[in-house]
Amino acid sequence: MKNNTVGEVFTGVDGLGDYIGSLPEPDWMRETRLAALERFSTMDWPDTAVEEWRRSDISSYDFNAYNMRGAQQSAAADSADPQAEPDVAGRISFEGPDAVATSLDPDLASQGVIFEPLSEFVLQNSANHGGNMSKATRAVRDLIMDSVHKADNKLKLWHYAGWTHGVVLYVPRFMEIKNCFVLDFQESGDSVISAPQVFVVLEEGARVEVIQRVHGADEGVVLLNESVDIHIGDGAACKYVALHNLNIDSSSFGTTLARISRDGHLHHGIAAFGSMFTKFRVDAELNGPGSDVLLDGIYYPAEDQHVDLRTVQTHFAPKCASHALYRGAIRDEAHGVYQGLIYVGDEGSETDAYLTNNNLLLNDGAQADSIPCLQIHTNDVKCSHGSTTGKLNRNEVFYLASRGFSPEEAEEILLQGFFEPIVARLPGALQEEIRDLIAARFVPVDIL
Amino acid sequence: MEIKIEGLEAKIGDTPILRGVDLTMNSGEVHALMGPNGSGKSTLSNVVFGHPSYEVTGGRVLVDGEDILEMEPHERARLGLFLAFQYPVEISGVTVGRFLRRAVEIRFEGQKEVRTKGFLKDLREAMDFMEIDQQFINRYLNEGFSGGEKKRMEILQMLMLQPQFSILDETDSGLDIDALAVVARGVNKMREHDFGALIITHYQRILDHIKPDFVHIMYQGRIVTSGGGEIVTELEKRGYDWVRAQYGQEEEVHE
């Protein structure tokens, strides 16, 4: 496989049209980019007059000062040895926009599972997929157009016009895959835009688990603007957990939109540790009766990090359940924002929905905003929200101290315990990693 | 182990609670501390363990001759002291098994190796003894436990940590007669070794199960009388009004 782009660099905003023109993509994909670009051009960047952006001011960003380039088709693809990782169904690793290693269990490939870098998928230059390609292509195209159509801010449209790289995971009907799929995004460089796009398409009855890691070099400034589109067919189930840990000079923007069909199930998780500035939004659309959703979130900003997370549980069908649990510990001068919305349309009878947000302020100067909201347009629903913001409990530290635990250890145990109900239900491969990140951030405050 | 409390005075905010407590106890002895509500019994246990809400304004607490009032709470615990709380807190996200494994490690640091197998075996035995379901090993400590389950969990911890001296702060309150018997069984098992306890209680019934060597009556922040089991009988017959009448002091008039 030859390199078929030269890795030309474009400025983030002014160069967007030229960037799209330079990509060797088929018309159907170019049309989606141009549709996004057209809406992008008519919109202003979100400002603090909009409620969703009120606490996250991006007016100081000069997005044109960042550069981007498309993925290079790399000979490194299929380099990873699938036998080397017994618990992994497939792995794709990126360095910047370039896929440097991909693997997929050959048994799964032979059964019609597609798991490959998006640029390759788009070019349809991979092996034959037993007739699934056209179905998968259609699904991907529909997801993009749905997202472009629904996008209510310029950053999201910017992403769909100018995405740089990504992944497609397509799972045929009734394929239950026990091992997980792993997406590794390694970012580096200065003033670099990274705009990865992930598609997860599950046909009826399919089940998968996906782990996404976004991490980067210690130095450098990356502007991440990612998007994840998930389609969960009737009775299908998806667990998708993302760990974000870019360096402290970087910024992270992202949206996830999951559409869940009848009796489908989504467990989404996000752990936000990195970046000076983070603004993520997770949308779960419950479109079919009996579907259910669990949204988990962990954040632990320190120094002067700003983390703003929003969840939206949209009930468009009856007899659906959705739960969101977001927990944040906030240290130093950091600022955590959580906004949660439960929306129940008039078709959403017998909805069971709640959202919970708990914040721990670890010192004076740390700040948490918790904004839960319910919009309910039908009767016969069970919806509630709960939000707490407090400090480490002195009586709990005293209790542990009375059992011989030093105050430092007691505080760390309580902090880990604060996150543990969420961590314990994330994929096993991520649990220790997240506990280690929490431990690495811990500083005793000595409240006894 | 000898615990010698001398002229202990403490306050919470501006309110004096302990007004000169004198009490000497040794491991090998079980003391009961009784008295009406508000007499300062729970404050005494909290002050001995160094709860930060209380300020000590006078006196000493000597453990084998060493004043522990300057020590941090965990340092006091590491001497071999244990407090069974009246209201044990819920520790979310920390399983009983993980918590106890670490607590046992700390308790016996440098004394004996805590082997994974040995620990679990000990824990399972102790849980059987305390009639606690094994599934509690994987539950978060005290979270969602009933009042009685929390009290039994306190005694389970005591059995695992093998302290030399325990203060049991109203461990009997809120227990039905069966649960009370189980709790008492745990305490009596400790007495097979060199172990002492101060049992703080409002009622006499736990003392039917755990025979105290000494009984002290606390009122208005002082130990007003001490003796043997006959005091319990006296209290049962005459109630606390007798204590108030005999030992009550006029409240000081504050300007």
User: What confidence score (pLDDT) does residue A424 get?
Assistant: 97
Q: What is the DSSP string of A259-273?
A: EE-TT-EEEEEEEE-
Q: B138 pLDDT exceeds 70?
A: yes
| Domain extents in chain B | 2-88+148-247
Closest-CA distance of chain A to residue B219, Å: 26
Using beta carbons and an 8 Å cutoff, which residues of B are at the interface with A? 49-53, 72-74, 77-78, 82-83, 85, 88-89, 91-94, 99, 102-103, 106-107, 140, 157, 161
User: What confidence score (pLDDT) does residue B235 get?
Assistant: 85
* CB pair distance less than 8 Å for A396 and B89: yes
Phi, psi of A342 (to 5 degrees): -105, 120
Q: A50 pLDDT exceeds 90?
A: yes
Of B50, B53, B93, the CB nearest to A420: B93
- Chain B positions touching A398 (Cβ under 8 A) are 49, 51-52, 73
- First-to-final CA distance of chain A: 64
Mapping DSSP onto H, E and C, the string for B150-161 reads HHHHHHHHHHHH
Q: A32 pLDDT exceeds 90?
A: yes
Of B52, B53, B83, the CB nearest to A402: B83
Of B53, B77, B92, the CB nearest to A402: B77
Integer Cα distance of A345 and A347 in angstroms: 5
Q: A261 pLDDT exceeds 70?
A: yes
* CB pair distance less than 8 Å for A395 and B93: no
Structure token digits, residue B195: 């172990």
* CB pair distance less than 8 Å for B77 and A395: no
- Chain A positions touching B50 (Cβ under 8 A) are 401
Query: In sequence order, which residues have a C-beta less than 8 Å from that of residue A297 and are 6 or more positions away?
Result: A269, A270, A271, A272, A282, A309, A311, A324, A325, A326, A327, A328, A338, A422
User: What confidence score (pLDDT) does residue A446 get?
Assistant: 79
- List beta partners, residue A208: A238
Q: A29 pLDDT exceeds 80?
A: yes
User: What confidence score (pLDDT) does residue B247 get?
Assistant: 85
User: What confidence score (pLDDT) does residue A81 get?
Assistant: 61
Q: For residue B86, what is the nearest residue in chain A, using CA coordinates? A: A399
Mean pLDDT, residues A413-437 taken together: 97
| pLDDT tens by residue, A356-386 | 999 999 999 999 999 999 999 999 999 999 9
Q: For residue A417, what is the nearest residue in chain B, using CA coordinates? A: B93
Q: A132 pLDDT exceeds 70?
A: no
Total residues belonging to chain B: 255
Closest-CA distance of chain B to residue A397, Å: 10
Integer Cα distance of B128 and B240 in angstroms: 38
Using beta carbons and an 8 Å cutoff, which residues of A are at the interface with B? 393-396, 398-407, 410, 413-414, 416-421, 424, 448
- Among A251-260, A292-301, B131-140, B203-212, which is the least confidently predicted range? B203-212
Given pLDDT bands bounded at 50, 70 and 90, which one contains residue B241? confident
| pLDDT tens by residue, B11-44 | 999 999 999 999 999 999 999 999 988 899 999 9
User: What confidence score (pLDDT) does residue B116 get?
Assistant: 59
Which of B49, B74, B75, B145 is the best mutation test for A, with the most CBs of A within 10 A? B74
* CB pair distance less than 8 Å for A417 and B92: yes
Mean pLDDT, residues A129-158 taken together: 87
Query: Would you say A140 and A199 are in contact if contact means Cβ atoms under 8 Å apart?
Result: yes
Average pLDDT over all residues of chain B: 92
- List beta partners, residue A171: A202
Closest-CA distance of chain A to residue B83, Å: 7
Q: A304 pLDDT exceeds 90?
A: yes
CATH architecture of B2-88+148-247: 3-Layer(aba) Sandwich (3.40)
* CB pair distance less than 8 Å for A417 and B94: yes
CB atoms within 10 A of CB B194: 12
User: What confidence score (pLDDT) does residue B250 get?
Assistant: 61
| pLDDT tens by residue, B149-200 | 999 999 999 999 999 999 999 999 889 999 999 999 999 999 999 999 999 9
Closest-CA distance of chain A to residue B144, Å: 14
Closest-CA distance of chain B to residue A255, Å: 29
Mean pLDDT, residues A59-65 taken together: 95
Mean pLDDT, residues A5-16 taken together: 85
In the sheet that holds B165-169, the strands lie side by side as: B81-84, B165-169, B196-201, B30-34, B214-219, B222-227
Closest-CA distance of chain B to residue A408, Å: 11
Among A293, A295, A212, A296, smallest CA distance to A260 is for A293
* CB pair distance less than 8 Å for B74 and A401: yes
| pLDDT tens by residue, A145-175 | 999 999 999 999 999 999 999 999 999 999 9
* CB pair distance less than 8 Å for A403 and B77: yes
Q: B51 pLDDT exceeds 50?
A: yes
- Chain B positions touching A416 (Cβ under 8 A) are 93-94
Q: For residue B80, what is the nearest residue in chain A, using CA coordinates? A: A404
Q: A6 pLDDT exceeds 70?
A: no
* CB pair distance less than 8 Å for A403 and B91: no
User: What confidence score (pLDDT) does residue B49 get?
Assistant: 97
User: What confidence score (pLDDT) does residue B253 get?
Assistant: 45
Closest-CA distance of chain A to residue B199, Å: 17
Q: Is residue B73 classed exposed, middle or buried when 0-12, 13-18 and 19+ CB atoms within 10 A define those classes?
A: buried
- Chain A positions touching B77 (Cβ under 8 A) are 401-404
Phi, psi of B18 (to 5 degrees): -95, 130
User: What confidence score (pLDDT) does residue A448 get?
Assistant: 79
> Angle CA(B250)–CA(B253)–CA(B254) in degrees, nearest 5?
145
* CB pair distance less than 8 Å for A402 and B106: no
DSSP letter assigned to residue A64:
G
More confident residue, A131 or A265: A265
| pLDDT tens by residue, B86-111 | 999 999 999 999 999 999 999 998 77
- Chain A positions touching B93 (Cβ under 8 A) are 416-421, 424
| Domain extents in chain A | 10-287, 394-448
Query: Would you say A262 and A347 are in contact if contact means Cβ atoms under 8 Å apart?
Result: no
Q: For residue A424, what is the nearest residue in chain B, using CA coordinates? A: B93
Q: What is the DSSP string of A294-360?
A: EEEEEE---TT-EEEEEEEEEE-SSS-EEEEEEEEEE-TT-EEEEEEEEEE-TT-TT-EEEEEEEEE
- Chain B positions touching A418 (Cβ under 8 A) are 92-93
Of A396, A404, A419, the CB nearest to B103: A404
At which residue do the structure tokens 């991440």 appear? A224
Query: Would you say A347 and A377 are in contact if contact means Cβ atoms under 8 Å apart?
Result: no
* CB pair distance less than 8 Å for B93 and A419: yes
Which of A360, A399, A447 is the best mutation test for B, with the most CBs of B within 10 A? A399
Q: For residue B52, what is the nearest residue in chain A, using CA coordinates? A: A448
DSSP letter assigned to residue A446:
-
ipTM score: 0.95
* CB pair distance less than 8 Å for B74 and A395: no
- Chain B positions touching A414 (Cβ under 8 A) are 91, 94
